[in-house]
A and B are shown apart, each in its own frame.
Chain A
Amino acid sequence: MSALPVRPKLDALRRRIETLERKGAPAARAGSAFALGPLTVAPGALHEIRVFGWRDAPAASGLALAISGKIAARTRKPVVFIREPRGYISIGRAYACGLSSFGVDPADIIVVSPESAKEALWATEEAAGASGVGAVVIEFLKPHKLLDLTATRRLQLAAEASGTTPIFLRSAGDATPSAARTRWRIAAAPSAADSYDLKASGNPRWRVELEKCRAGGRGAWVLEWDYETGELREAAVHGRALPEMADRSFEEIAAVA
């Protein structure tokens, strides 16, 4: 019995499935993946940032801003911000004067304030499917039944077709499965020391865990945003021990929500 003729047939079938699945999506339009410190950001794919409770949400938006700012700079396309629909703890709105410190030009921002989760999801899908958009940042910290595997899969497909990069901010306590290509878990970390003022907080830092990644590879880092160079890099941590991720239990989230 010769196994030889099976091989080309299998390859042909694989190729066919691939074309069926991708529907010939122009992957080249999305541009190639780029490294952001230890993170790899693939355009045209859905990324998820899981946040430890709403108190860490501003920190997460900072990281999302840093990533989307880089995408906006590479693609020269604006960033669409989709705010959390009403009914969740308010932590305010994006502030134009604070965006520039994360390398985002306020003129490149569109802020959408949907009224309901349904509207938010619709707007996200519209934005993710529009080829004129660089990145879409969606805040959706409150778990919602509409936001299931199907919804995230649709987002992923829309992003693949158009080349935009949706970044989803979700709660770490949300156990709903998702079709995101990568999933990070993040929490705020004590900032770097300011070189001029010992009492002041310096560059912002995050504790980031790569939980899931299509390309393989997991890891946990402390990332630092350098205000001066506008770069994200792995922080050199010495001295103080960082609090463990597990310390911020889900009970805290449940208690507040």
Chain B
Amino acid sequence: MAVLFPKWPTDRLKKSQPSLDQGGAPLALYERAQSALRLYALDAAAESLGLFPGQALADARAICPHLVAVEARPLEDAKAFQKLCARFMRYSPAVSVQRTGEAFVDVTGCERLFGGEAAILADLARRLEAAGFSAKIAVAGTPGAAFAFAAAGVGGVIAAPETKAALAPLPIDVLRIDAAVAERLRRMGLKRVGQLYDMPRAPLTARFGKELLMRLDQALARETEALPLLFPAPHDYAEMRFAEPISSIDAAMESARKLAGDLGETLLKAGKGGRRFELTLFRVDNQMARVSVRTSAATNSPAHIARLFDMRLDGLRSDIDAGFGFELVRLGAFETEKTPALQHEAFDRAAADAALSELKDRLSNRLGARRVCRLDLKDSHLPEHADALVPATAPPAAAVDADPGLRRPVKILSHPEEIEALAQIPDGPPARFSWRRVSYRLVRASGPERIADEWRRQENAKPTRDYYRVEDEEGRRYWIYREGLYEREAGTPRWFLHGFFA
């Protein structure tokens, strides 16, 4: 089943800000594209006036002075859309979202619970209409065909044997192909899907790329299409059902601990470990809360998993709404891989490594992965690009050797700060400088070490820098540079402080 929301951005906005809907004025969303404001999405009223996406906002305003224009927020649209699609799980657990506004639900095998595919379709249509979303829905044998029928406005249920015949009169745009490809096909006179059926395949691929035939085959079930699911079901999981719903976070934490024990045992027996774990709390009223934790190394240690969830849930106390209580708690392991059976206590080294990766997990899950980093050396001679803070849980990068001959500071400012420096001779080291309103008299200096921008950046290359290691009267050591060469690159070079030596 394909569910398309052609007016999703405007519908969502109208729903969140009902005042926009009342006047009946046409609504348009615009985005900033290359310093121009262009239309991004329109509602039905705006479309009927002849406005189109990609039009300059100024032009649209000229055509329709009473147009209501709001800046588009694609990220929020996507988030809200995912949230809506999560509710399609009432029909089937296999829900997939590929782009905002396009959802697929695999209802195979689930139709009997609702009394047929047509009943599901009718139920969904009724619910969406009540919620105020304009949607096009179609059910067909393949996701591709369902999409095509929905996009062409042929609603209803199309049985698998009739697919080919029913697709033939539809325009080629419905095949989920690139707009440019569709345009080229039309110019060749290929306007209907049916015209492609008997075309020789090789020239078509040569002319229009692989995607066209792939999409056609997918629609006609000649090729299978595996859609990534919105909420993939875990292969390994443990769950707990409650006759009496639990409503406190503490009870959920307790059950998570028990489930961690069960899941850990299952994984251990299978010789596997997971890198991501997700705890799903199913509420009585069909709502779900999901909490996931990530680990830096595949693990199956119950104590470790339980501790990570303990900390996560503790932090989410106010965010999780138990409502009428949870009736099912499921803990699933994702991204599982084979782990060697470790005799943890037998070897100190292995135990220490395990303790370290568990520490990284605890820190990253509580503080956020970006706050717990390792320092990777990078292959660049520009000081600010020579290293990078990389999340400690990220896979290791290729090793780069540092040049031990270079004397580099222990601390570096992420943005060099401009200083006022006074040099005795134009090309020499400064005798004093002032930084953050304090003046420093320098007694020692060495340099310059000349660092030019990378050769491959020909255009807007940064000026060459001359680095000096300087020391003030009290023995504090700084790394400063002059930006620009005298008379060649800059009229008056500027000085910057970039780092500190111990």
Contact = CB atoms under 8 A, between A and B. Distances in A.
Given A132-B352, A201-B471, A109 B375 contact: yes
B469 interface: yes
A215 interface: no
Contacts of A199: 444-446
B356 A111 contact: no
B430 to A, nearest CB: 13
A59 B502 CA distance: 4
A99 B411 contact: no
B132 interface: no
Contacts of A114: 367, 371
Contact of A200 (B358, B413, B469, B474): B469
A122 B362 CA distance: 11
Contact of A61 (B374, B386, B411): B411
B360 interface: yes
Contact of B373 (A100, A110, A122): A110
Contact of A131 (B352, B360, B412): B352
Interface string A76-93: 011010000000001111
Interface string B445-464: 11000000000000000000
Interface stretch (B217-225, B229-237, B240-248, B399-407): B399-407
B36 interface: no
A93 B502 contact: no
Which bracket fits the contact residues of A? Answer: 35 or more
A190 B471 contact: yes
Nearest to A65: B410
A61 B445 contact: no
Looking at A94, A98, A200, A248, the one whose CB has the most chain B CB atoms below 10 A away is A98
Contacts of A248: 474
A112 B363 contact: yes
Contact of B367 (A65, A97, A115): A115
A230 B501 CA distance: 16
B370 to A, nearest CB: 8
A201 B476 contact: no
B413 A91 contact: yes
Given A92-B412, A113-B373, A194-B446, A127 B359 contact: yes
A132 B476 contact: no
B389 A111 contact: yes
B23 to A, nearest CB: 44
A110 B392 contact: yes
Interface string B464-478: 000001110111110
B166 interface: no
A62 B501 contact: yes
A59 B399 CA distance: 28
A123 B360 CA distance: 10
Interface in A197-220: 197, 199-201, 204-205
B373 A132 contact: no
Contact of B476 (A55, A99, A131, A256): A55
Contacts of B499: 92, 95, 98
Interface of B is mostly: mixed
A201 B446 contact: yes
A30 B409 CA distance: 31
B375 A94 contact: yes
B355 interface: yes
B371 A132 contact: no
A82 to B, nearest CB: 10
Given A63-B502, A97-B383, A112-B371, A56 B377 contact: no
A251 to B, nearest CB: 13
Contacts of B443: 190
Given A98-B410, A123-B363, A225-B502, A106 B402 contact: yes
Interface string A170-200: 0000000000000000011111001001011
Best-surrounded residue of A107, A109, A122, A190 (most CB of chain B within 10 A)? A190
A61 B410 contact: yes
A204 B356 contact: no
Nearest to A247: B474
B414 interface: yes
Query: Max chain B CB contacts within 10 Å: which of A65, A80, A201?
Result: A201
A190 B475 contact: yes
Interface in B428-447: 436, 438, 443-446
Contact of A201 (B354, B357, B362, B444): B444
A102 interface: yes
A80 B363 CA distance: 11
Interface in A30-63: 55-59, 61-63
Most-contacted residue by chain A among B358, B436, B475, B502 (CB, 10 A): B502
A181 B410 CA distance: 26
Given A96-B402, A102-B410, A106-B387, A65 B502 contact: yes
A243 interface: yes
B500 interface: yes
A91 B411 contact: yes
Contacts of B476: 55-56, 58-59, 188
Contacts of A253: none
A116 to B, nearest CB: 10
Nearest to A99: B410
B376 interface: yes
Nearest to A95: B412
B408 A58 contact: no
B80 interface: no
B443 to A, nearest CB: 7
Interface in B53-109: none
Contact of B375 (A91, A106, A190): A106
7 contacts: A96-B386, A100-B402, A110-B373, A126-B362, A131-B351, A187-B474, A199-B446
Given A63-B502, A102-B410, A112-B373, 10 more contacts: A58-B501, A92-B411, A92-B413, A101-B407, A109-B374, A109-B375, A111-B374, A130-B355, A131-B352, A248-B474
For the complex of A and B, list the 8 residue pairs with the smallest distance between their C-beta atoms, beginning with the closest.
Answer: A62-B502, A132-B356, A200-B446, A58-B500, A96-B387, A132-B355, A95-B412, A97-B408
